[in-house]
């Protein structure tokens, strides 16, 4: 199972929110490159980079951070937050991201996203599904749709998506453990998907459970920053 550490960016700094709430912000490091290098030095190969300013503004903002990390590490970076136009997609790829992360747009503007999948290749996109009670949530989790998670995944698998991460928004940033049963059900229905668990990971035990459930990857953020998971311990999962 691939461990994919997360770096969330506000004002160019490495932060974490609790349940997507910008008022519950904690700054962990003013230099995201330092954090990324620590991850790389620990043997991690991927990075989940989230532009929280971009997500709020609806346009990519922190591409300079992406550019710096991509230039100065060998990490395979997926970058998301505020990708709403083809110009945003081009900025993200030109700044060094291997994958563009798309969430709400895939729900709200399917035709545009499908155009991008055809133009750039579905392998250049990481699809993000925020879920509340098995329904897709959008708009910084404030809005739950009537779109079911399984229908959502099936549609985009047909369009060629191979990598997807799923966040149970009731769990994220709370260090209460991940939604293992939900993930098992998704993996059972879509065995060929490179499925990445996200949200709620609080301990190595959680990661072992996700690995046993068949997850191909797990995004880990707060648990690393709060010292609940040591980077050295992650080698056992690689």
Burial 34-49 (b: 16+ CB within 10 A, else e): ebbeebbebebebbbb
Catalytic residue among 78, 88, 130, 206: 130
Active-site residue (options: 8, 51, 88, 172)? 8
Give the whole-angstrom CA distance, residue 28 versus residue 32. Answer: 9
Question: Helices (DSSP H) in 60-175: which residue ranges?
Answer: 63-72, 86-94, 104-108, 110-120, 149-158
C-alpha 220 chain-centroid distance:
9
CB 103 within 8 A of CB 77: no
Cβ atoms within 10 Å of 90's Cβ, excluding its own: 13
146 among known catalytic residues: no
Q: Is 41 a catalytic residue?
A: no
What is the DSSP secondary structure assignment for residue 95, as one 8-state letter?
T
Confirm if 76 and 40 have CB atoms less than 8 A apart: no
The residues that are catalytic are: 8, 130
């Amino acid at each position: 199972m691939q461990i994919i550490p997360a770096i969330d960016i506000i004002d160019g700094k490495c932060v974490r929110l609790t349940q997507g709430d910008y008022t519950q912000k904690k700054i962990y490091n003013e230099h995201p490159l330092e954090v990324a290098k620590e991850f790389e030095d620990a043997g991690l190969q991927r990075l989940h980079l989230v532009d929280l300013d971009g997500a709020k503004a609806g346009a990519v903002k922190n591409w300079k951070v992406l550019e710096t990390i991509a230039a100065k590490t060998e990490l395979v970076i997926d970058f998301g937050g505020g990708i709403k136009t083809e110009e945003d997609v081009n900025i993200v790829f030109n700044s060094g991201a291997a994958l563009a992360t798309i969430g709400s747009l895939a729900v709200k503007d399917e035709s545009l996203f499908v155009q991008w999948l055809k133009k750039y290749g579905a392998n250049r996109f990481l699809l993000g599904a925020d879920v509340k009670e098995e329904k897709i949530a959008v708009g910084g989790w404030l809005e739950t749709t009537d779109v079911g998670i399984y229908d959502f995944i099936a549609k985009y698998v047909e369009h060629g998506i191979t990598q997807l991460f799923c966040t149970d928004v009731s769990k994220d940033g709370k260090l209460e453990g991940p939604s293992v049963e939900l993930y098992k059900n998704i993996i059972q229905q879509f065995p060929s998907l490179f499925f990445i668990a996200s949200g709620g990971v609080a301990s190595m035990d959680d990661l072992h459970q996700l690995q046993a459930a068949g997850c191909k990857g797990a995004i880990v953020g707060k648990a690393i920053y709060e010292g609940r998971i040591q980077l050295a311990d992650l080698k056992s999962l690689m």
